[in-house]
């Protein structure tokens, strides 16, 4: 069976593609060398291509992603625009002109990636003149021009004309995911589009490697030469998608890209609103999923502490049906979860009412686009008299798994949350975890952060440092 997709308005068909081959290499090997390889791990954005996808608003849009982290067969049935497809009729596209006019390029290595990200921003539904989203180029790095001219190019973007062919394309639906099953060089690639087919594949291949957005797995493929006998791509499975909001609960499909969750839940869960800007870059969030962030069970993943603080539930599916477990019981050890062979995470559920106060702190070497040294996610439900009815103090980076400081949580109940009560729970926080040293931070530093972040919360709450605290954006 061959891989088929649309690229720059033309149909592409390929057979015998190594299932481990990243899209970036596939494109470059076929002469589309405008798409560059800088890091092969999602850090630089030089490899950005845009996919045509339906957004949470139900409308078709261009979504930039890192082609270095997408396995080629995972684009089967999709539609893509690479930098070569941005301009038409030998004239520069308006975003390319903006880069030229504002001096946004020197050596030019990063430029194709910026152009693709600007291209997606240019066609953003509802964008007004002078209105720009700095995060739209947040995953693109430039080492020589400096960001001011590139930002100027972004700010200067005009609105697309009525006869713009790329704009016209967005009036039609985005392609639906298509199933794919083939073998090349002894490696099987399966891309089911429903759960029933997924489970029969898993029955036949219980040790298959699941790949969702691929932003963890393909880094391993590119840099650690990870190879699998059977790869099962989850990105086409309909039942893993969607975000449902009811009076009682919020259910998020494990295969929903983080950027789509960010958009669909904007303003509804303050803790998540604070988390997303600190989670990698928009380019990564356009492809990465919650299933992948929880499924990799990294002790420094950012969504686990946030979801632990929200008392989230993991919805686990297998061919035998579904079971739910509190996320608190999902992680069983370093990079281990409760998932048995044949099971996967189908969704994450957050029950309402949401806690009164919610706060996410990420301690990292850089504010943006960096991995956590320690993350703290805190949620307090207050009783009518202002005392704590329920407390959740959840952390990443201080134990083998994301974890809660349960003794300290219990000790806060019935008290006012202030500097005094934090002093009282200090010994409990100090005993809660035995972190390890690594290159991101010493054990002593991490231990200090466990208490220090709770003190920071108390300070911010009691000093009025942040007005409308529970709705504040970002942190640090």
Ligand X SMILES: Cc1cc2nc3c(=O)[nH]c(=O)nc-3n(C[C@H](O)[C@H](O)[C@H](O)COP(=O)(O)OP(=O)(O)OC[C@H]3O[C@@H](n4cnc5c(N)ncnc54)[C@H](O)[C@@H]3O)c2cc1C
Per-residue x/- track, 244-263, ligand X (CB under 6 A): ----------x---------
Given 3, 32, 47, 118, the residue binding ligand FES (CB under 6 A): 47
Span 82-111, contacts to ligand FES by CB under 6 A: 105-111
359 close to 274: Cβ distance less than 8 angstroms: yes
Per-residue binding letters, 282-321, with ligand X (x by CB under 6 A) = --x---xx-xxx-xx----xx-------------------
- Indicate whether 37 belongs to the interface with ligand FES (CB under 6 A): yes
Cβ–Cβ under 8 Å, residues 5 and 79: yes
Kindly state whether residue 111 participates in binding ligand X, applying the rule CB under 6 A.
Answer: no
Tokens of 8: 């720059």
d(CA 209, CA 115): 34
Taking CB within 5 to 8 Å according to partner kind, which of ligand X, ligand FES, none is near residue 296?
Answer: ligand X
In the numeric block, the tokens 């921003």 are attached to 121
345 binds ligand X (CB under 6 A): yes
Kind and range of the H or E run holding 189: strand 187-191
Phi, psi dihedrals of residue 237, rounded to the nearest 5°? -75, 115
Buried-state track 324-355, b at ≥16 Cβ within 10 A, e below 16: eeebbebbeeeeebebeeebbbbbbbbeeebb
| CB contact at 8 A, 339 and 236 | no
CA distance 139 to 368: 10
Report 34-53 residues binding ligand X (CB under 6 A). Answer: 41-43
317 in Cβ contact with 195 (< 8 Å)? yes
Q: Which stretch binds ligand FES (CB under 6 A): 45-53, 204-212, 254-262, 263-271?
A: 45-53
Which of 246, 260, 205, 222 has the alpha carbon at shortest distance from 54?
A: 260
40 makes contact with ligand FES (CB under 6 A): yes
Among 216, 262, 328, 409, binds ligand X (CB under 6 A): 216
Q: Would you tell me the crossing angle of helices 147-155 and 111-122 to the nearest 10 degrees?
A: 20
Instruction: State which H helix or E strand residue 100 sits in.
Output: helix 94-101
Q: 32, 51, 68, 398: which one contacts ligand FES (CB under 6 A)?
A: 68
By the rule CB under 6 A, 116 interacts with ligand FES: no
From the list ligand FES, ligand X, none, partner contacted by residue 430 (C-beta under 5 to 8 A by kind): none
Question: Would you count residue 46 as binding ligand FES (CB under 6 A)?
Answer: yes
Closest distance to ligand FES from the beta carbon of 100 (Å): 12
* Residue 184 binds to ligand FES (criterion: CB under 6 A): no
Name residues contacting ligand X, limited to 359-378 (CB under 6 A).
371
Binding positions for ligand X, rule: CB under 6 A: 41-43, 209-217, 219, 234, 254, 279-280, 284, 288-289, 291-293, 295-296, 301-302, 339, 344-345, 371
């Amino acid at each position: 069976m061959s891989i088929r997709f649309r690229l720059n308005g033309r149909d592409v068909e390929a057979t015998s593609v190594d299932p481990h081959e990243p899209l970036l290499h596939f494109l470059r090997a076929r002469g589309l060398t405008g798409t560059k390889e800088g890091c092969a791990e999602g850090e630089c954005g030089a490899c950005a291509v845009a996919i045509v996808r339906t957004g949470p608003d139900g409308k078709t849009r261009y979504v930039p992603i890192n082609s270095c982290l997408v396995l080629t067969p995972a684009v089967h049935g999709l539609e893509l625009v690479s930098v070569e497809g941005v301009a038409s009729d030998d004239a520069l596209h308006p975003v390319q002109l903006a880069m030229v006019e504002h001096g946004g390029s020197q050596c030019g290595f990063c430029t194709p990636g910026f152009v693709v990200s600007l291209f997606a921003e240019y066609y953003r539904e509802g964008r007004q003149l002078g209105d720009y989203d700095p995060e739209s180029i947040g995953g693109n790095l430039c080492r020589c021009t400096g960001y001011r001219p590139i930002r100027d190019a972004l700010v200067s973007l005009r609105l697309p004309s009525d006869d713009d062919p790329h704009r016209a394309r967005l009036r039609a639906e985005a392609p639906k995911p298509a199933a794919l099953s083939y073998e090349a060089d002894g490696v099987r690639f399966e891309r089911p589009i429903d759960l029933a087919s997924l489970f029969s594949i898993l029955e036949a291949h219980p040790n298959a490697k699941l790949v969702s957005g691929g932003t963890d797995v393909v880094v391993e493929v590119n840099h650690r030469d990870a190879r699998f006998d059977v790869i099962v791509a989850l990105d086409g499975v309909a039942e893993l998608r969607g975000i449902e909001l009811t009076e009682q609960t919020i259910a998020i499909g494990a295969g929903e890209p983080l950027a789509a969750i960010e958009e669909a839940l904007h303003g509804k869960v303050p803790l998540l609103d604070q988390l997303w800007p600190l989670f990698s870059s928009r380019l990564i969030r356009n492809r990465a999923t919650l299933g992948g962030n929880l499924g990799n069970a990294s002790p420094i993943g950012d969504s686990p502490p946030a979801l632990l603080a929200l008392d989230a539930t993991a919805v686990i599916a297998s061919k035998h049906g579904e079971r739910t477990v509190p996320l608190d019981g999902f992680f069983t050890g370093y990079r281990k979860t409760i998932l048995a062979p044949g099971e996967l995470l189908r969704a994450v559920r957050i029950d309402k009412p949401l806690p009164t106060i919610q706060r996410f702190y990420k301690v990292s070497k850089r504010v943006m686009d960096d991995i956590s040294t320690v993350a703290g996610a805190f949620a307090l439900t207050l009783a009518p008299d202002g005392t704590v009815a329920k407390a959740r103090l959840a952390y990443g980076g201080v134990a083998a798994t994301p974890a809660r400081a349960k003794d300290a949580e219990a000790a806060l109940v019935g008290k006012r949350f202030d500097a005094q009560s934090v002093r009282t729970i200090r010994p409990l926080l100090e005993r809660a975890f035995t972190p390890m040293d690594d290159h991101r931070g010493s054990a002593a530093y991490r231990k200090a952060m466990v208490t220090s972040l709770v003190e920071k919360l108390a300070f911010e709450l009691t000093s009025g440092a942040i007005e409308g605290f529970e709705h504040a954006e970002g942190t640090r």
